[in-house]
Homo-oligomer: A and B are copies of this chain.
């Protein structure tokens, strides 16, 4: 049984931090559902650590992983706690290769893309990733100073969607903008000139588009707003002053999905 002092466990613990993940090219995936998604979703899973309790509770996931040739190793409760960021550790943690892909690979032939710019809150970022997956987006780009999509809280909030569609990271927003050439750029902005529910918007949404979403506190930088083809606002019919990022993003992406549906019924890419 491996303890928290075993070098393999100590090395895995470094993956809790972004610097450690980027250096090793690996990250941690916690919990039965997420581990199953990682194994089945095509991520390269190196090994799984499990406590005795987790082994008996999640026999299905454990044999699923072992069936794919992934070693499952028993660890102490303390070792599992050290690899967990949650209040109630599930005792089941997988070590995987980072899943992000180069920007051009992610965007190839894409018709609907979600781009996060300086979204620092991992729960929000993961929830947008989940909504983008559900709405049939072809890819999600984590741009500028956005959180790492491999952050533990972001992975949990994505509920497996991190393994479902191509995710790219790029700090340089000029590079992101160049890679999005050919897509109509829609900046989500509460003060945007185009109303999401206006008839003109439906025409725009039926073409190949990239939605750009900013962080909750500051919204999108002025340069990004100016570079976009349209600044689109989710109309507020009642007295609410705003919507939170994840809610607004889901409404925007589903408006796109509805507009693209007559063109293509499922995942929205030219390749499909």
Contacts and interface: CB of A to CB of B under 8 A. Distances in A.
Contacts of A130: 240, 243-244, 247
A240 B161 contact: yes
Nearest to A137: B238
B161 A237 contact: no
A125 to B, nearest CB: 14
Given A133-B239, A257-B197, A247 B244 contact: no
A256 to B, nearest CB: 10
Contacts of A136: 237-238
A135 B165 CA distance: 30
A119 B251 CA distance: 21
A236 interface: yes
Instruction: Name the interface size band of chain A.
Output: 35 or more
- Number of identical protomers: 2
Contacts of A247: 127, 130-131, 246-247, 250
Contacts of A238: 132-137, 161, 164-165, 266-267
A144 interface: no
Contacts of A165: 238-239
Given A197-B261, A243-B134, A237 B266 contact: yes
13 contacts: A130-B240, A131-B240, A133-B240, A135-B238, A136-B238, A159-B240, A160-B240, A197-B258, A235-B261, A237-B266, A238-B267, A247-B250, A255-B258
